[in-house]
């Protein structure tokens, strides 16, 4: 069976409150420092994952860089894929 994450990389992300200019008040996710992606990138991931854990929780996910129709790059992981809570 083929690996469904073949073109995806493991990345550690963290959730944060969207209380920033241009962001809604919902909980967002971003790569943490030291990852191969900038910390100011957004991560499209499971809404349930973001809501079920406290803001600031870190997760290890499989993600890939993408953009929509030439927009700003961001990381994407499918909402139903597994994730791991990362302890500091």
Mean pLDDT of 2-14: 82
Q: What is the pLDDT of residue 76?
A: 94
Give the DSSP letter string of 18-60.
--STT--SSEEEEEPTTSSS-TT--EE--HHHHHHS-TT-EEE
Strand 84-86 relative to strand 9-17: parallel, antiparallel, unpaired? unpaired
Mean pLDDT of 13-28: 79
Q: What is the pLDDT of residue 20?
A: 62
Q: What is the pLDDT of residue 23?
A: 60
Closest residue by Cα to residue 72 from 44, 43, 41, 45 = 41
């Amino acid at each position: 069976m083929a690996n469904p994450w073949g073109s995806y990389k493991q990345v550690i992300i963290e959730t944060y409150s969207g209380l920033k200019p241009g962001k809604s008040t919902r909980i967002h996710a971003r790569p943490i420092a030291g990852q191969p992606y900038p910390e100011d990138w957004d991560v499209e991931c499971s809404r349930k994952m973001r809501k079920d854990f406290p803001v600031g929780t870190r997760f290890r996910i499989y993600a890939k860089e993408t953009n929509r129709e030439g927009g700003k790059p961001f990381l994407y992981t499918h909402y139903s894929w597994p994730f791991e809570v990362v302890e500091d």
